[in-house]
């Protein structure tokens, strides 16, 4: 598991909101939104249900369309569909790729008011802002943007938890790092510049230490972004692609 600073934001939200708000994690594709939410659900709740709206079944859609006004029935049917026991104030629902089914996002208002369970939504940055024309965006929704791993998170992934605190201490005390430590950190930073912060690229580098394999991962992600540009920048595809490239 790649340790993310955003995990602490979710802990803070859970402890402070106590079910009074849902939280929406947005961000670019492949920055780790779904993985972060899943890990949080596994670690911090007695049970969790992930509803992935990119591959929602007709039976799940039918529950949202026809049974959401009776929340007792709504929760009972979802519990049965996902073979997961729900525990009041100790179960989490994850609405993954919620931008693909705006009705679920609109329903958040009533689910939060019910108060039995917690709710995390995830959505891609572009489409989450577009697919809201026909819904009322719930006011009971906090949100934050998840970015790729920063340098400190990259070091954590590499097993180094000491370098950044040491750098901060030296900065605060106005002391030099020392030549050996400086060389080590600069070498790590060069690796970070080559690998980047996309979780899949970082995980590939940890497993293989092969920059060519990492580059293939990053090229595939860039291809997805170009496909999104063609999909969402209607009428401006060529201009946006030329800027992106």
Domain ranges across the chain: 6-145, 151-244
Question: Count of residues for the chain?
Answer: 245
Check pLDDT > 60 for residue 64.
yes
Q: Poorest-confidence range of 2-16, 130-144, 163-177, 208-222?
A: 130-144
Which of the two residues, 236 and 43, has the higher pLDDT score?
43
Calculate mean pLDDT across residues 37-56. 97
User: pLDDT tier at 1 (50, 70, 90 boundaries)?
Assistant: confident
Q: What whole-number distance in Å separates Cα of residue 242 and Cα of residue 186?
A: 33
What kind of fold does domain 6-145 have according to CATH? Rossmann fold (3.40.50)
Check pLDDT > 60 for residue 10.
yes
pLDDT for 243 equals: 79
pLDDT for 47 equals: 98
How confident is the model over 110-124, as pLDDT tens digits? Answer: 999 999 999 999 988
Calculate mean pLDDT across residues 164-174. 96
Q: Which of 13, 29, 8, 12 is closest to 156 using CA atoms?
A: 8
Q: What whole-number distance in Å separates Cα of residue 67 and Cα of residue 87?
A: 20
pLDDT for 130 equals: 59
Phi, psi of 53 (to 5 degrees): -80, -5
pTM above 0.85, yes or no: yes
Return the SS3 of 48. Answer: strand
């Amino acid at each position: 598991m790649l340790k993310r600073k955003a995990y602490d934001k979710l802990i803070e939200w859970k402890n402070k909101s106590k079910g009074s708000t849902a939280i929406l994690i947005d961000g670019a594709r492949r920055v780790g939104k779904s993985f972060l939410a899943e890990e949080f659900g596994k670690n911090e709740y007695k049970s969790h249900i992930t509803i992935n709206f990119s591959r929602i079944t007709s039976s799940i859609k039918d529950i949202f369309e026809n049974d959401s006004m009776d929340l007792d029935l709504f929760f009972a049917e979802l519990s049965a569909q996902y073979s997961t026991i729900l525990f009041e104030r100790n179960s989490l629902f994850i609405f993954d790729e919620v931008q693909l089914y705006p009705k679920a996002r609109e329903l958040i208002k009533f689910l939060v008011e019910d108060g039995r369970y917690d709710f995390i939504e995830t959505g891609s940055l572009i489409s989450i802002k577009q697919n809201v024309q026909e819904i009322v965006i719930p006011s009971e929704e906090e949100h934050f943007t998840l970015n790729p791993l920063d340098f400190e998170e990259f070091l954590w992934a590499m097993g180094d938890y000491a370098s950044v605190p040491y750098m901060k201490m030296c900065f605060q005390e106005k002391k030099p790092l020392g030549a050996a430590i400086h060389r080590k950190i600069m070498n790590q930073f060069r690796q970070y510049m080559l690998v980047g912060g996309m979780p899949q690229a970082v995980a590939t580098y940890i497993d293989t230490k092969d920059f060519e394999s990492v580059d293939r991962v990053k090229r595939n992600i860039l291809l997805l972004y170009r496909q999104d540009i063609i999909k969402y920048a209607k009428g401006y595809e060529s201009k946006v692609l030329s800027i992106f490239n």
